[in-house]
Amino acid sequence: MNAEKDNAKGMTVNYVADIYTGFPDKFGIPRQSGIVPELTGRIVFRPEYRDPEALRAIEGFSHLWVLFDFSLSHRDNWSPTVRPPRLGGNARVGVFASRSPFRPNHIGLSCVKLIRVEHTSDEGDVLIVGGVDMVSGTPVIDIKPYLPISDRRDDAVGGYSDDRAGYRLEVVLPPDADKKLPEELVKGLAGCIAEDPRPSYQEDPERVYGMEFEGFEVRFKVAGGTATVTEIERNQEAELDV
């Protein structure tokens, strides 16, 4: 009985790190990790967890599981059903049959590629990771190694997400895109837009969508299966922050 009472109290969760990415806002971020491998992030540990011993042997793993807080999606209540964007924004599924950020405990889970451990003098050991899908400044709850021997399931079925498997937009970039952005950022930007960040119910070919990416303001239109980027300009506020 005492154990049941203790379990009913829940637990205290401490943030161990924060991840910094090229996305100050949610719009434009891939809906799942690993979809755009060119997107990178920096996992910076909070001072009380900056012990290099905590990362001993981590470089032997190619990928990591990152548990994080959907910090921009906190609500006082929760709903047992949600409306996944890929189902058009109208069809409902159970919250536990989705990866919606609007959950009872707002916990996210992403699998990222460990690119390297970067040793710094002011932030300690920083994890540089690829395939991110998180807003910059997202608090990290925990990090665990991805284990191919147990985490991979060749017979897995993706439910309703399989219906949209392979869906991508063709992306047309401005001729000077490679002059404004480094090559790896051009690929990352194109990958994000190819995943179609629009709500599924929006089909206005004249509507201009805007997103912030790596300190740039990006604008694009979508007609049919093609997304045309019309503008890539440096964010003036971002320049002032540097």
CATH of the domain at 237: 3.30.2310.20
The domain of 202 spans: 167-241
d(CA 36, CA 80): 30
In a domain, 23, yes or no: yes
Residues 13 and 60 in one domain: yes
Please, which residues bridge with residue 28 across strands?
none
pLDDT of residue 221: 95
d(CA 36, CA 112): 10
CATH number where 48 lies: 2.40.30.70
pLDDT in tens, 87-141: 766 789 999 999 888 999 999 999 999 999 999 999 999 999 999 999 999 999 9
Residues 208 and 116 in one domain: no
Domain's final residue, options 119, 151, 183: 151
Residues 66 and 140 in one domain: yes
Residues 39 and 134 in one domain: yes
Query: What's the total number of domains in the chain?
Result: 2
pLDDT of residue 130: 97
Measure the CA dihedral 40/211/78/93, to 10°. Answer: -90
In a domain, 227, yes or no: yes
Residues 225 and 120 in one domain: no
Residues 35 and 119 in one domain: yes
Residues 128 and 66 in one domain: yes
Please, which residues bridge with residue 127 across strands?
43, 117
d(CA 132, CA 147): 18
d(CA 152, CA 178): 37
Residues 36 and 132 in one domain: yes
d(CA 99, CA 158): 12
In a domain, 85, yes or no: no
Domain's final residue, options 151, 186, 216: 151
d(CA 18, CA 25): 15
Residues 137 and 37 in one domain: yes
Q: What is the 3-state secondary structure (H, E, C) of the chain?
A: CHHHHHHHCCCCCCCCEEEECCCCCCCCCCCCCCCCCCCEEEEEECHHHCCHHHHCCHHHCCEEEEEEECCCCCCCCCCCEECCHHHCCCCCEEHHHCCCCCCCCCEEEEEEEEEEEEECCCCCEEEEEECCCCCCCEEEEEEEECCHHHHCCCCCCCHHHHHHCCCCCEEECCCCHHHHCCHHHHHHHHHHHHCCCCCCCCCCCCCCEEEEECCEEEEEEEECCEEEEEEEEECHHHHHHC
Residues 125 and 230 in one domain: no
Domain's final residue, options 151, 180, 208: 151
pLDDT of residue 201: 66
User: Residue ranges of the chain with pLDDT lower than 50?
Assistant: 1, 240, 242
